[in-house]
């Protein structure tokens, strides 16, 4: 009876690893505190590894069968791969950004542009700078470049 549930820690550990991976882009990026450094996700991986280690110790004890040991090893390896991929995406792939060495520097004139807004209406930077904001001349314009939803 006990051996039937011998691998539950391993399954929980693996599941937590997957949740730790998915929850970063789908949930934790929404909050700067959990986005700038993925500590919440790393914490989840810590909990996952505790489950995995406990699970592995159980299946490799005298209680474990060969099948459970193989299953346990596969789950542990897959969990490690999920973790490694997470580290790669966040800390290696995330840093693959162009240098932008010729971006306008502080003190330089911001290059003028004319672009369509979401209603297709043409908008100039000069207008954005001068058009009243709440009835007053704006102090400044914050230009945010983003990757888009391709």
Binding site for other proteins (CB under 8 A): 29-30, 32, 35-36, 38, 90-91, 93-98, 100-113, 115-120, 123, 125-126, 128-131, 133-134, 136-150
Least gap, CB of 123 to other proteins (angstroms): 6
Judged by beta carbon, residue 1 or residue 144, the one nearer other proteins is 144
Judged by beta carbon, residue 4 or residue 111, the one nearer other proteins is 111
**Which residue has 């009835």 as its token pair?**
135
Minimum CB–partner distance for residue 150 and other proteins (Å): 4
- Scored b (16 or more CB within 10 A) or e, 30-44 reads eeeebeeebebbeeb
Separation between Cα atoms, residue 66 and residue 59, nearest integer Å: 9
Report angle CA 106, 111, 115 to the nearest 5 degrees: 135
117 token code pair: 């807004």
Question: For other proteins, which is the closer residue by CB, 8 or 113?
Answer: 113
CB of 76 to other proteins, least distance (A): 27
Q: Which is nearer to other proteins, 23 or 54 (CB)?
A: 23
Cα-based torsion angle of the residue sequence 86, 88, 89, 94 in order, rounded to the nearest 10 degrees: 140
Neighbours of 76 (CB within 10 A): 20
Nearest distance from residue 70's CB to other proteins, in Å?
Answer: 36
């Amino acid at each position: 009876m006990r051996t039937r549930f011998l691998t539950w820690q391993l399954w929980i550990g693996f599941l937590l690893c997957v949740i730790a991976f998915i929850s970063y882009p789908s949930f934790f990026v929404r909050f700067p505190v959990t986005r700038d450094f993925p500590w919440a996700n790393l914490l989840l991986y810590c909990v996952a590894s505790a489950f995995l280690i406990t699970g592995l110790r159980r299946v490799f004890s005298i209680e474990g069968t060969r099948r459970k040991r193989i299953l346990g090893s596969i789950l542990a390896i897959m969990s490690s791969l999920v973790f490694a991929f997470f580290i790669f995406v966040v800390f290696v792939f995330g840093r693959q950004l162009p240098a932008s060495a010729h971006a306008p520097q502080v003190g330089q004139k911001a290059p003028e542009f004319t672009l369509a807004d979401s209603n297709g209406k043409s908008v100039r930077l000069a207008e954005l700078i001068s058009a009243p904001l709440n009835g007053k001349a704006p102090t400044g314009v914050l230009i945010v470049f983003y990757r888009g939803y391709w």
